[in-house]
């Protein structure tokens, strides 16, 4: 107990005693802003940027609720995406503290809320819905040509959600939710009986689907994921079936391509209420953090074998990302921003703002 | 390094910070809620079955008294649904059941469009075809179209075999759906009673129901949330029964939500908070019961509009009161928990 307290204190001091170190991430060593979609207490929508070590923050009003985002390598830009069934992506420049571009999903399309750049920072890959036939797509944009739309990569499936780039720089790991929606029907789910979710790998150059792994039940909607530096993928599900059934809520794809599902202790699975939000894997240690806002929990697992290492109460836990130093940043819909130790230590409050942090931190 | 961290991690499992609601001292409250909601789902099943029978009787013998009875049964079943609409977890979440019962909001008039399409067919659909078709044509608003839309006001319109067959198919689907819902609620019982986070979920459902009531069901058509007043944004605008539905929700919160809340608060020595909330709820419900049934007509009538404003303010106060109670109980407000993605 005492040693744990001590470790916590040291970790806390360490984070603040080294100003200017920034979040060390591949492709963007000095990125110091954390971005997120937020709502204020009146329900107005913003894109929030916070620099914790510099104690700075700014926000930009947007017309619709936004969702996930991604950093553009080699720049101070980040892109945040409208939440399903939103139609816009917003390019934010951290230095300029301004929205520098806004791109529409195009006629007959909407975004699902996530995207990712390839390592050069030129091409942006965004999950989208072709509304007419509910075809799931990855739309490709060229950041060097004012985010002009280049082409689409079809996924042969419905409802792609989060996607990440694999360490080979060429393969996209995509969480295919499988849920059919239509903007005219709001957020109603229209195909719950015949869903076909998957964890997919897509060659972004050839467009070939190189792997498609199906969850153990057709109503396990595969929604969020992160990729470790060794190529391990951890994915989070949201189960659409009966709440009293106990289903796995996490999956793992090994660097060798073996797909398995992670069993958490039964009572903990029940507490999560069939729902996971964000997945973040540490860069240099085999640790993955999962947020579960319905269960008001964050979980820490060993990304090598899925073993549960810690489970903390954190009200309305939402966004998560690694901080580049082995720990994680986690946001809460109640306004708090926390550091959660990669050593299993409990969340420490860093900031508390009068806002509702939305699902993801970038 | 990792070996040591692993051990610390296990310590964290047991030392995780515990707020009030995470200590599960609330199984009695969930027991009461489960029973009360089960009874209310039972009322919905019975009302839906009466509606189905009433639709059959009207189609066999379409006279004024059967028509009156049909309309009354539709409203009673619709109100029975309002009373349990605050339950936004459990089996209601399966197969988009809440949407099936009430497709709303409907800014694009999908209900009207889908019903017109069915009415233009040569043959009425079966209940299976309704189940496989659009969610906008499956529930109370779809039946409301048949009973109240301007296009259906001709005496012959609803007695036409296609219209009557369509109505019977929808009523049949609705009765099947509600009885499956109740069956599943009973199967859900053990899980609900044994899972601590459903205490927060139930409180949160009631709070969200009041928020929706204030902002969407009243505020939005009244023009209080940004746009201009617009009666078409109200629920049940075709029948002019918007306020009767609101009354149904308030009644359900009093009858179905309050007993469990009282148990929860009494265990904390805060029973007075539950009494205050009950009084305010009762006052608001009685106010709604005295108001005329439609919302849209009140938008152009000064006196009626100020009545609506009064109701809106009282519902806002109820919401505030329940938020305070939630704070006392350590309820974690779920922004992402309730509507993530």
Statement to judge: residues B158 and B214 lie in one domain = no
Strand partners, A79: A70, A91
Statement to judge: residues B213 and B158 lie in one domain = no
Statement to judge: residues B105 and B116 lie in one domain = yes
- Nearest Cα of chain B lies from the Cα of A145 at a distance, in angstroms, of 31
Which sequence spans correspond to the domains of chain A? 69-357
Statement to judge: residues B150 and B90 lie in one domain = yes
Statement to judge: residues B187 and B310 lie in one domain = no
Statement to judge: residues B151 and B63 lie in one domain = yes
For residues B254 and B276, give the distance between their C-alpha atoms in angstroms, rounded to a whole number. Answer: 12
For residues A227 and A240, give the distance between their C-alpha atoms in angstroms, rounded to a whole number. Answer: 25
Say whether B12 and A311 touch across the interface (CB within 8 A): yes
Pairing state between β A88-93 and A98-104: antiparallel
Residues in chain A with CB shorter than 8 Å from the CB of B93 are 243
Statement to judge: residues B251 and B150 lie in one domain = no
For residues B310 and B243, give the distance between their C-alpha atoms in angstroms, rounded to a whole number. Answer: 13
Indicate whether B7 belongs to any domain.
no
**For B73-132, how does the pLDDT look when each residue is reduced to its tens digit (9 = 90+)?**
999 999 999 999 999 999 999 999 999 999 999 999 999 999 999 999 999 999 999 999
User: What CATH number was assigned to the domain covering residues A69-357?
Assistant: 2.130.10.10
The answer to whether residue A27 scores a pLDDT higher than 50 is no
* Phi/psi of residue A54, nearest 5 degrees: -90, -10
Statement to judge: residues B190 and B214 lie in one domain = no
The whole-number average pLDDT for the span B60-68 is 95
Strand partners, A260: A252
pLDDT at B332: 62
- List all residues of chain B from 204 to 233 with a beta carbon under 8 Å from chain A: none
Q: Which of A309, A311, A333 sits opposite B16 (nearest CB)?
A: A311
Q: Is A30 on the interface with B (CB under 8 A)?
A: no
For residues B85 and B206, give the distance between their C-alpha atoms in angstroms, rounded to a whole number. Answer: 9
Indicate whether B218 belongs to any domain.
yes
Q: Is A356 on the interface with B (CB under 8 A)?
A: yes
Statement to judge: residues B222 and B254 lie in one domain = yes
How would residue A23 be classed by pLDDT, with cut points 50, 70 and 90?
very low
pLDDT at A330: 96
Of the three residues B195, B217, B242, the one that is the final residue of a domain is B195
Report the CATH number that the domain containing residue B123 is assigned in CATH: 1.20.1420.20
Of the three residues B171, B195, B219, the one that is the final residue of a domain is B195
Statement to judge: residues B165 and B272 lie in one domain = no
Residues in chain B with CB shorter than 8 Å from the CB of A161 are 341
Of the three residues B195, B222, B250, the one that is the final residue of a domain is B195
Q: Which of B10, B135, B196 sits opposite A188 (nearest CB)?
A: B135
Q: Which of A277, A286, A344 sits opposite B336 (nearest CB)?
A: A277
- List all residues of chain A from 71 to 130 with a beta carbon under 8 Å from chain B: 83-84, 113
Indicate whether B18 belongs to any domain.
no
**For A212-260, how does the pLDDT look when each residue is reduced to its tens digit (9 = 90+)?**
999 999 999 999 999 999 999 999 999 999 999 999 999 999 999 999 9
For residues B273 and B330, the model is more confident at: B273
- DSSP 8-state symbol, A325: S
Nearest CA in chain A to B100: A188
For residues A289 and A310, give the distance between their C-alpha atoms in angstroms, rounded to a whole number. Answer: 9
Q: What range defines the domain where residue B219 resides?
A: 196-333
Nearest CA in chain A to B113: A184
* Number of domains into which chain B is organized: 2
Mean residue pLDDT across chain A: 90
Residues in chain B with CB shorter than 8 Å from the CB of A344 are 5-6, 8-12
Q: Which of A189, A309, A333 sits opposite B9 (nearest CB)?
A: A309
Statement to judge: residues B92 and B203 lie in one domain = no
Indicate whether B10 belongs to any domain.
no
Rounded to 10°, the helix B271-290/B258-267 angle is 160
Tokens representing A251 are 């999956």
Instruction: Give, in order, the Cα–Cα distances in Å from B30 to each of A319, B23, B183, B325, B327.
Output: 30, 14, 18, 17, 19
Indicate whether B44 belongs to any domain.
yes
How would residue B26 be classed by pLDDT, with cut points 50, 70 and 90?
confident
Statement to judge: residues B37 and B184 lie in one domain = yes
């Amino acid at each position: 107990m005492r040693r744990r307290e001590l470790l916590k204190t040291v970790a806390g001091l360490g984070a603040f005693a080294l100003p200017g170190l920034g979040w060390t991430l591949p492709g963007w060593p000095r990125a110091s802003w954390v971005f997120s979609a937020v709502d204020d207490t009146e329900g107005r929508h913003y894109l929030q940027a916070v620099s914790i070590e510099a104690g700075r923050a700014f926000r930009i009003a947007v017309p619709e609720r936004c969702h996930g985002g991604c950093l553009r390598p080699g720049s101070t830009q980040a892109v945040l995406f409208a939440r399903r069934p939103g139609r816009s992506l917003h390019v934010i420049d951290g230095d300029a503290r301004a929205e520098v571009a806004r791109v529409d999903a195009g006629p007959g399309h909407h975004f699902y809320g996530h995207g990712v750049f390839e390592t050069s920072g030129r091409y942006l890959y965004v999950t989208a819905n072709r509304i007419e036939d509910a075809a799931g797509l990855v739309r490709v944009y060229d950041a060097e040509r004012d985010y002009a739309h280049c082409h689409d990569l079809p996924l042969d499936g419905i409802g792609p959600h989060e996607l990440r780039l694999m360490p080979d720089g060429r393969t996209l790991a995509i969480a295919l939710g499988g849920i059919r929606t239509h903007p005219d029907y709001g957020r109603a789910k229209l195909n719950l009986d015949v869903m076909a979710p998957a964890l997919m790998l897509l060659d972004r150059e050839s467009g070939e689907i190189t792997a498609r792994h199906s969850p153990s039940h057709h109503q396990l909607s595969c929604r969020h994921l992160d990729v470790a530096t060794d190529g391990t993928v951890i994915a989070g599900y949201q189960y659409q079936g009966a709440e009293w059934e106990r289903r796995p809520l996490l999956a793992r794809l090994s660097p060798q391509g073996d797909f398995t599902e992670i069993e958490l202790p039964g009572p903990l699975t029940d507490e999560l209420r069939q729902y996971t939000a964000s997945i973040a894997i540490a860069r240099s240690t085999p640790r993955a953090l999962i947020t579960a806002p319905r269960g008001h929990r964050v979980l820490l697992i060993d990304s090598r074998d899925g073993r549960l290492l810690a489970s903390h109460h954190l009200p309305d836990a939402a966004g998560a990302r690694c901080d580049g130093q082995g720990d994680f940043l986690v946001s809460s819909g109640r306004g708090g921003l926390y550091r959660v130790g990669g050593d299993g230590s409990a969340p420490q409050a860093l900031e508390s703002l009068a806002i509702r942090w939305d699902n993801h931190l970038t | 390094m990792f070996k040591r961290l692993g051990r610390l991690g296990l310590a964290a499992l047991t030392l995780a910070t515990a707020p009030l609601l995470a200590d599960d001292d609330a199984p009695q409250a969930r027991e009461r809620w489960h029973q009360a909601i089960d009874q209310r789902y039972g009322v919905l099943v019975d009302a839906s079955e009466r509606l189905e029978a009433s639709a059959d009787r009207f189609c066999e013998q379409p006279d004024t008294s059967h028509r009156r009875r049909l309309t009354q049964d539709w409203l009673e079943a619709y109100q029975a649904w309002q009373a349990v609409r605050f339950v936004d977890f459990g089996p209601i979440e399966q197969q988009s059941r809440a949407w099936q019962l009430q497709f709303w909001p409907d800014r694009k008039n999908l209900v009207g469009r889908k019903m017109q399409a069915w009415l233009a067919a040569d043959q009425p659909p079966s209940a299976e075809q309704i189940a496989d078709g659009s969610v906008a044509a499956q529930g109370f608003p779809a039946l409301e179209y048949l009973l109240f839309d301007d296009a259906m006001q001709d005496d012959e319109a609803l007695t036409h075999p296609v219209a009557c067959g369509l109505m019977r198919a929808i009523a049949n689907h609705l009765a099947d759906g509600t009885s499956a819902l109740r069956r599943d609620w009973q199967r859900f019982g053990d899980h609900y009673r044994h899972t601590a986070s459903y205490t927060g979920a139930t409180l949160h459902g009631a709070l969200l129901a009041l928020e929706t009531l204030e902002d969407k069901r009243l505020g939005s058509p009244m023009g209080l949330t940004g746009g201009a007043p617009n009666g078409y944004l109200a629920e049940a605008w075709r029948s002019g029964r918007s306020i009767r539905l609101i009354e149904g929700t308030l009644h359900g919160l009093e009858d179905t939500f309050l007993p469990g809340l009282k148990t929860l608060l009494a265990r904390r020595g805060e029973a007075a908070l539950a009494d205050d909330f009950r009084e305010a709820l009762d006052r608001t419900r009685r106010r709604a019961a005295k108001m005329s049934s439609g919302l849209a007509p009140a938008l152009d009538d000064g006196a009626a509009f100020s009545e609506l404003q009064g109701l809106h303010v009282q519902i806002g106060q109820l919401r505030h009161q329940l938020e305070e109670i939630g704070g006392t109980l350590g309820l974690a407000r779920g922004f992402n928990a309730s509507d993530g993605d």
